[in-house]
């Protein structure tokens, strides 16, 4: 029995010598299908396998802090900068952005339709319409809270009448919104691949405040010496290079581009 | 409550078997042995000496301590008082004991494997195991069924298998706890015949039974137990013919009042 | 609005298409859970046998602990194993977090209490019938306990099947320690969870039906094995 276990362990560590890295990212990014498109291109270019562990943004950053990932790829600029300040990464590089949209019942009882998200949220609160919040410390949740602040509403202190916190991922939140005919703030990527829409439809989009910035960070080997820095840096460099940026722009669902590359030149 | 009678062991008890040894070499001696389970006094100051060649029958009502006495003789339980195992000079080692229970416990393996397992547990030398197993099975007439699952045998066959398993160990003492209580008459006769055959080979037999006819047929010595006390211990003919203490007499007549 | 019938159809299509991804996921589920059950059987059966016969102060507490761990939620097991195997944890050097090895370990931890508690019961029941006889033949307590497991091997098989069912159907532990990595640590249950959260409910249900079918097939094989042997057990008068 010890032999079996040792064999399993050896197999695991043998793969440590292979060109493999672990990337902590978010469920919304994975579910958008971007990685299924991007990573094979990266592998073909460099021969490196990227294993994606997709969890919430908070958990992804935590995975990086614990040293269980080599590279972190999330969309919460404030949290990422904090990560760098704490010394867990040397640098943060912007990669791309996608946008959030507000979806809701096609009848739109709160009259939110348009391209002003702050006004829309204000109307949702005023009408007491049901709004599903992810409430899971994810990048989407952080963005949602910032937008409520822009409206002047402090949801932590005074929740609007229809505000519901599910503590769940984007998909389950949309499932809930679909069955309750509620308003949900979602990223476009998840929305485009979401199959259980029911009566939900996009009501607010295009507001600059709805843009969702992604950043990539290599975990600092000073904190975690086992991190495969060279391989991870190769990934980070590729994703902001012309080839990577082009690959990102090339990802479309139903002819629609999801992610807009904006790495520093 | 009747007074405690010291068990009387009359001379001439036990037809001795010619083993080239003293006819009545003691094997196990119990001196004022008592066993208590919680609040129940299972055995009460029993004094008994088991001698080589004895065919001792234990009789008594249910709960009188027959099973406990058998288990004590085997060494499965301990007692207050003294239990002494004596190594007879001819043997040169402590006597080997084997036991049969009322419901034979057979493992869900083949007939043959049950006997082999017994030999293995006992520590019999590997080279001899197959031979002793085959010999024992033949002796009890189960050699043709050696490959059958033991649990598919009839009640009588299972008890014969238990006997074979015990026989293969070449015991000096064989203890049997109501071995034929659940068997039909022909199976009963078969088991009795085998027990006598074992005894003829020199094995000392202690058997508890409800069946007084069986005691008469098989035993050289009969002990009557009541409420954990050994009340009578006599050669078989004396037990059934001479005057007995009141409770023992009532038991024989089947008139012992329900306690 | 989809129906269960739609999912049944989808499940049949998935199987007949012999989708390579699907079979890789099914294969990993079976490999991880059966390895975990094998390890769990080794540890759990010995533990159960030992607990049935050992006498030491605190045995009652040990038995209580094992029985309570039966109800350990899989996600809690996952969390504990994750903290152990994380690079920041005591066993970080092994470097096996987010690999199938970690999943095997987590599921082994999950099934050991189950196997131990149930096999202990089997041994106790068996010893009630035959403990004296085995002792009489010369078996020590632990050997008697092991012999009882051999004696009750069909009961043991049922216990192991129960453990396998528990392992192959759990999602909490493998999700946390495996990371649900596409093409590497994704198993049936985490795939179902993923499709559910993506809102693709027909596919999720279809995968669930495939999982059910696979487990049913395993059970069928075991029943067939049992049936063959039980024919030999007919009573001959």
pLDDT for B199 equals 93
Q: Which residue has the tokens 């009678």?
A: B5
Residue of C nearest to A190 (CA): C198
Mean pLDDT of A80-96: 96
- Pairwise CA distance, residues B157 & B143, whole Å: 11
Q: Which helix (H) or strand (E) holds B205?
A: strand B204-208
Q: Are strands A163-165 and A131-133 parallel, antiparallel or unpaired?
A: parallel
The DSSP secondary structure of C134-171, one letter per residue, reads HHHHT--HHHHHHHHHHHTHHHHHHHHHHHHHHHHH--
Residues in Cβ contact with B246 at an 8 Å cutoff, skipping those fewer than 6 apart: B2
pLDDT for A229 equals 94
Q: Which of C42, C101, C201 sits opposite A9 (nearest CB)?
A: C101
Q: Which of B76, B153, B165 sits opposite C132 (nearest CB)?
A: B76
Helix, strand or coil, per DSSP, at residue B202: coil
pLDDT tens profile B207-236:
999 888 899 999 999 999 989 999 989 998
Here the tokens at position A163 are 């505000």
pTM of the model: 0.83
pLDDT for C235 equals 39
Residue of C nearest to A51 (CA): C181
Interface size between B and C, measured as CB pairs under 8 A: 54
Residue of C nearest to A33 (CA): C198
Residues of A with CB under 8 A from a CB of C: 1, 4-5, 8-9, 11-13, 15-16, 22, 27, 30-31, 35-36, 51-55, 65-68, 168-172, 174-175, 178, 190, 193-197, 224, 226
Q: Is B71 left (phi over 0), alpha (psi -120 to 50) or beta?
A: alpha
Measured between beta carbons, the chain B residues lying within 8 angstroms of C126 are none
- Note whether C137 contacts B107, CB cutoff 8 Å: no
Measured between beta carbons, the chain C residues lying within 8 angstroms of B109 are 150-151
**What residues does A73 pair with on adjacent strands?**
A25, A216
What is the rounded average pLDDT for all residues in chain A?
A: 89
pLDDT for B93 equals 81
- Note whether C35 contacts A4, CB cutoff 8 Å: yes
Q: Which of B118, B121, B152 sits opposite C233 (nearest CB)?
A: B152
pLDDT tens profile A94-132:
999 989 999 999 999 999 999 899 999 999 999 999 999
**CB atoms < 10 A from the CB of C63, how many?**
16
Q: Which of C130, C139, C236 sits opposite B121 (nearest CB)?
A: C139
Residue of B nearest to C143 (CA): B121
Q: Along chain C (237 residues), what's the average pLDDT of each consecutive run of 10 residues?
A: 76 82 91 97 97 94 95 95 95 94 97 96 95 94 96 92 93 96 94 85 87 87 72 42
Nearest to A32 by CA among A143, A174, A234: A174
pLDDT tens profile A43-70:
999 999 999 999 988 899 999 999 999 9
Here the tokens at position C124 are 């106790």
pLDDT for A264 equals 84
Measured between beta carbons, the chain C residues lying within 8 angstroms of B148 are 236
Q: Which residue has the tokens 């037999």?
A: B205
- Asked if A117 and A205 count as a contact pair (C-beta separation under 8 A), the reply is no
Q: Are strands B221-226 and B173-177 parallel, antiparallel or unpaired?
A: unpaired
Q: What angle is formed at CA A20 by the lines to CA A243 and CA A250, rounded to 5 degrees?
A: 25
- Note whether C95 contacts A16, CB cutoff 8 Å: yes
Measured between beta carbons, the chain C residues lying within 8 angstroms of A70 are none
The DSSP secondary structure of C72-126, one letter per residue, reads --HHHHHHHHHHHHSTTSTTGGG--TTSHHHHHHHHHHHHHHHHHHHHHHHHHHH
- Note whether C180 contacts A53, CB cutoff 8 Å: yes
Here the tokens at position B149 are 């699952």
Q: Which of A1, A35, A193 sits opposite C198 (nearest CB)?
A: A193
Residue of A nearest to C92 (CA): A68
Residues in Cβ contact with A108 at an 8 Å cutoff, skipping those fewer than 6 apart: A203
pLDDT for C143 equals 96
pLDDT for B182 equals 87
- Asked if A213 and A29 count as a contact pair (C-beta separation under 8 A), the reply is no
pLDDT tens profile A180-225:
999 999 988 888 878 888 899 999 998 888 988 999 999 999 999 9
- Note whether C137 contacts B118, CB cutoff 8 Å: yes
pLDDT for C56 equals 93
B259: closest CA of chain C, how far (Å): 28
Q: Residue ranges of chain B with pLDDT lower than 70?
A: 1-23, 255-259
Residues in Cβ contact with B80 at an 8 Å cutoff, skipping those fewer than 6 apart: B33, B34, B35, B36
Residues of B with CB under 8 A from a CB of C: 71, 74, 76, 97-99, 101, 103-105, 107-109, 117-118, 121-123, 148-149, 151-154, 165, 169
Distance of CA A256 to the CA centre of its chain: 18
pLDDT for B1 equals 38
Phi and psi angles of residue A53, each rounded to the nearest 5 degrees, phi first: -100, 110
């Amino acid at each position: 029995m010890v032999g079996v276990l040792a064999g399993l362990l050896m197999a695991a560590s043998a793969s440590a010598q292979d060109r493999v890295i672990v990337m902590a990212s978010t469920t919304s990014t994975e579910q958008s299908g971007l990685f299924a498109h991007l990573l094979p291109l990266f592998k073909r270019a460099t021969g490196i396998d990227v294993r994606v562990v997709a969890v919430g943004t908070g958990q992804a950053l935590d995975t990086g802090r614990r040293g269980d990932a080599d590279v972190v790829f999330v969309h919460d600029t404030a949290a990422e900068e904090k990560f760098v300040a704490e010394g867990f990464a040397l640098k943060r590089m912007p990669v791309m952005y996608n946008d959030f949209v507000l979806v809701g019942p096609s009848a739109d009882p709160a009259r939110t339709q348009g391209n002003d998200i702050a006004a829309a949220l204000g109307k949702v609160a005023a009408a007491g319409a049901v709004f599903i919040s992810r409430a899971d410390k994810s990048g989407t949740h952080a963005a949602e809270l910032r937008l409520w602040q822009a409206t002047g509403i402090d949801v932590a202190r005074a929740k609007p009448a229809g505000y519901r916190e599910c503590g769940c991922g984007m998909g389950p939140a949309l499932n809930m919104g679909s069955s309750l005919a509620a308003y949900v703030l979602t990223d476009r990527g998840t929305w485009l691949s979401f199959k259980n829409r029911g009566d939900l439809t996009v009501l607010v989009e295009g507001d600059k405040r709805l843009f969702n910035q992604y950043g990539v960070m290599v975990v600092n080997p000073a904190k975690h010496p086992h991190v495969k820095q060279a391989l991870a840096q190769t990934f980070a460099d590729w994703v902001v290079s012309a080839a990577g940026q082009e690959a990102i722009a090339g990802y479309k669902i139903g002819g629609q581009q999801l992610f807009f590359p904006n790495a520093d030149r | 409550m009747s007074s405690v009678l010291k068990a009387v062991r009359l001379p001439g008890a036990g037809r001795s078997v010619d083993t080239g040894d003293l006819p009545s070499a003691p094997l196990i001696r119990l001196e004022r042995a008592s066993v208590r389970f919680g609040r129940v006094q299972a055995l009460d100051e029993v004094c008994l000496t088991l001698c080589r060649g004895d065919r001792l029958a234990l009789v008594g009502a249910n709960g009188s301590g027959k099973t406990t006495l058998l288990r004590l003789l085997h060494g499965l339980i301990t007692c207050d008082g003294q239990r002494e195992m004596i190594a007879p000079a001819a043997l040169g080692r402590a006597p080997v004991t084997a036991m049969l229970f009322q419901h034979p416990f057979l493992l869900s393996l083949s007939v043959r494997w049950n006997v082999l397992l017994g030999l293995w547990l006992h520590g019999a030398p590997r080279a001899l195991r197959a031979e002793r197993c085959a010999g024992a099975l033949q002796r009890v007439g189960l050699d043709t069924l050696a490959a059958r699952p033991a649990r598919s045998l009839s009640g009588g066959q299972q008890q014969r298998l238990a006997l074979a398993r015990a026989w293969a160990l070449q015991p000096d003492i064989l203890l049997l706890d109501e071995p034929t209580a659940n068997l039909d008459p022909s199976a009963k006769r078969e088991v009795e015949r085998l027990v006598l055959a074992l005894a003829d080979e020199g094995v000392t037999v202690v058997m508890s039974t409800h069946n007084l006819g069986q005691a008469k047929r098989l035993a050289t010595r009969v002990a009557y137990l009541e409420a954990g006390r050994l009340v009578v211990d006599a050669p078989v003919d004396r037990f059934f013919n001479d005057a007995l203490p009141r409770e023992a007499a009532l038991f024989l007549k089947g008139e012992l009042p329900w306690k | 609005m989809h129906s269960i019938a739609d999912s049944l159809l989808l499940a049949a299509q998935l199987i007949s298409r012999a989708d390579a991804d699907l079979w890789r996921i099914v294969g990993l589920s079976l490999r991880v859970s059966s390895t975990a059950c094998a390890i769990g059987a080794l540890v759990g059966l010995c533990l159960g046998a030992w607990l049935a016969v050992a006498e030491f102060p605190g045995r009652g507490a040990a038995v209580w602990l094992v029985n309570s761990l039966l109800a350990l939620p899989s996600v809690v097991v996952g969390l504990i194993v994750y903290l152990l195997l994380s690079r920041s944890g005591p066993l970080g050097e092994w470097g096996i977090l987010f690999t199938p090895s970690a999943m095997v370990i987590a599921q082994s931890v999950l099934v050991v209490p189950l196997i131990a508690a149930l096999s202990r019961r089997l041994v106790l029941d068996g010893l009630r019938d035959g403990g004296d006889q085995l002792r009489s033949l010369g078996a020590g307590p632990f050997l008697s306990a092991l012999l009882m497991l051999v004696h009750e091997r069909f009961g043991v098989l049922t216990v192991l099947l129960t453990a396998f069912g528990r392992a192959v159907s759990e999602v909490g532990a493998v999700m946390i320690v495996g990371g649900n990595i596409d093409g590497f640590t994704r198993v049936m249950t985490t795939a179902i969870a993923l499709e559910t959260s993506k809102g693709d409910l027909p596919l999720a249900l279809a995968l669930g039906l495939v999982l059910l079918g696979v487990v049913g097939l395993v059970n069928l094989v075991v029943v067939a094995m049992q049936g063959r042997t039980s024919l030999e057990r007919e009573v001959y008068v």
